[in-house]
């Protein structure tokens, strides 16, 4: 089974592009964000986050408030670095295990890991190919503002990741999202039919 890393910066539309790919090809999708959310419910992780951020990070039920956590860590580079050092190692290990297990199966055309930080984690070579989704200039910022973040908060989140041009340089394939869903669909179709499907066939021989 073809293994793909699917990445892109915050608010680039990478999930939308992946959903469009799922209408063309039979995919098994692994969402890094979901694994991260499960980890935050683990008692040892919750306790470590509380020690790092204080009890204000908890909601009324004693669980991690992810929105509050995000606002705290993205506003403080040192705190973000310490949080990443806590949560990223088990996340990466979970991804590695999932990819290794997927290679022994043939129940889908591609196993896709949807993760914004593939290059930041240094796991690009784990996959047969990495696809980066890039938003048109200014689009990601406008999307974050529409989601209710202040301009400062939005820029803090955008600046917490590798620049998009670096991700584009490191990726095997790139999709441009200019906020035109029909055009995005055509680009995703071309990606599968003319790039990923031939790669899958080549890997099978």
Span 103-129, pLDDT tens digits: 988 889 999 999 999 999 999 999 999
| Structure-token pair, residue 72 | 């705290």
| Structure-token pair, residue 132 | 């980066």
Mean pLDDT, the chain, whole residue set: 89
Query: Which domains are delineated in the chain?
Result: 2-197 (3.40.50.300)
| Structure-token pair, residue 23 | 């209408």
Q: What is the pLDDT of residue 137?
A: 60
pLDDT per position as a tens digit, 174-193: 998 887 889 999 999 999 99
Q: What is the pLDDT of residue 140?
A: 65
The yes-or-no verdict on residue 22 having pLDDT over 80 is: yes
pTM summary value:
0.86
Burial 117-155 (b: 16+ CB within 10 A, else e): bbbbbebbebbbbbbbbbbeeebbbebbeeeebeeebbe
Q: What is the pLDDT of residue 80?
A: 92
């Amino acid at each position: 089974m073809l293994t793909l890393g699917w990445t892109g910066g915050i608010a680039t539309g990478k999930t939308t592009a992946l959903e469009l790919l799922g209408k063309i090809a039979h995919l098994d999708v692994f969402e890094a964000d979901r694994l991260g959310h499960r980890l935050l419910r683990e008692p040892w992780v919750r306790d470590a986050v509380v020690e790092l951020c204080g009890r204000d990070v908890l909601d009324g039920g004693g669980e991690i408030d992810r929105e509050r956590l995000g606002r705290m860590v993205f506003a403080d580079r040192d705190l973000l670095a310490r949080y990443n050092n806590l949560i990223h190692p088990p996340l990466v290990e979970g991804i590695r295990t999932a990819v290794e297990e997927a290679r022994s199966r043939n129940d889908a055309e591609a196993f896709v890991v949807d993760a914004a930080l593939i290059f930041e984690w240094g796991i690009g070579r784990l996959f047969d190919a990495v696809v980066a989704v890039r938003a048109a200039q200014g689009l990601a910022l406008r999307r974050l503002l529409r989601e209710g973040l202040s301009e400062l908060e939005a820029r803090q989140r955008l600046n917490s990741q590798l620049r998009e041009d670096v991700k584009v340089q490191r990726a095997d394939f790139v999709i441009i999202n200019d906020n035109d869903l029909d055009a995005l669909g055509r680009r995703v179709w071309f990606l599968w039919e003319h790039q990923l499907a031939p790669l899958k066939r080549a890997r099978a021989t």
